[in-house]
Structure 1
């Protein structure tokens, strides 16, 4: 859904020949809003990290909670889940900042022109190594942190913690 909105906004910026600054704002806004939603969720009963990483679809949540409870580490685990949530939000905030910087650096031609379209293509090409890859590494670090936390606090190996 967000991808479709993003494409429509980019097309609208080009068709309406808006200032390229709006493209940079749009590029930063979507991951920024996702990051904000993830960060806000850290203060709710169900942080988004529970939906994305610590999910019953991926992990044997009941077994992990039981092992944490037996060791008296449930409260510590909740604090670490909040840290993981902030790491996940950080990956989206990184993406937002880098999207803005990259868009303002690369897309300088007036919108609606052939040069503008070529620069959009260059932006897309460079966004993978400069934004997507580092963001994925940050998310992988968050997952590693969560798995290491489960191992340390619950005493379970990854194969024991995963849903079978």
Structure 2
């Protein structure tokens, strides 16, 4: 029997939670000898993005980019600790992950599946069918695509900001030898501070990109925000 195919898009927040957030927490909280140990925590952390990516591949016959990125991220973080590499490599790794996403956002505009549509202009958030029908009727589809391209540059910029801040924060806070107890403590402190110093500013910039996209759509379609929202969001309001 062939595996079922599905055109349904994943929720990006669920992808990030399973592929990146949970594995990172496992590595930080369960790597001590009295818990799972370094090897056990690494294997458990790897199981989340690997299993999620394999499930997505089986269901949809295509790779889940975020799951693949999470798998690479966990491998690098675990490898730095297990091989006891210089802590500067952690800073490189922390910067590399958002930088790769930023580059992927730019490169995806050359494909049939631009990531900005997955993250912002998707049918889980907006009534895409209605919006595109109005754009077609008004002959404004090309202008919208040009604005969407500009929004893509803004979106990638948020990830490049995150990459730069991740590198600075890691170099500043994580100075102990990899694999040591102090290294794990510094890693936890870095993760804690990354929320107010990186995650919140990045979220504000992401909201700014969405606001730019909404203003563009309002100007081109004449729809209000409530009229643009997908049905499930309108029902909640």
TM-score where L is the length of structure 2: 0.65
What residue is the counterpart of 2:179 in the other structure? Answer: 112
Indicate the residue corresponding to 2:128 in structure 1: 61
Question: What residue number does 2:82 align with?
Answer: 15
How far, CA to CA, are the matches of 1:113 and 1:45 in structure 2?
A: 45
Does residue 147 (structure 1) correspond to residue 214 (structure 2)? The answer is yes
1:48 to 115, 133, 136: 115
State the alpha-carbon separation in 2 of the partners of residues 45 and 142 from structure 1: 21
Corresponding residue SS for 1:108: coil
Gaps of 5+ in 1: none
- Aligned pairs, how many? 164
Q: In the alignment, what sits opposite 1:76?
A: 143
Q: Distance in 2 between matches of 1:23 and 1:125?
A: 16
TM (norm. structure 1) is 0.91
Distance 1:30 1:49 in 2: 17
1:87 pairs with 2:154: yes
Instruction: Supply the distance in 1 between the matched residues of 2:160 and 2:214 (Cα, whole angstroms).
Output: 23
Cα shift at 1:139: 1.0
Q: RMSD value over aligned CA atoms?
A: 1.6
Distance in 1 between the 2:113 and 2:191 partners? 34
Does 2:163 align with 1:101?
Answer: no
- 5+ unaligned residues in a row in structure 2: which ranges? 1-48, 50-68, 232-237
Structure 1 contact 47–82 (Cα < 8 Å) conserved: no
Q: How big is the shift at 1:4?
A: 4.8
Tell me the SS of whatever aligns to 2:156: helix
Contact residue 42 and residue 86 of structure 1 kept, 8 A: no
What is the deviation of 1:13?
A: 1.1
- How far, CA to CA, are the matches of 1:37 and 1:17 in structure 2? 30
CA contact (8 A) 1:9 1:26 kept: yes
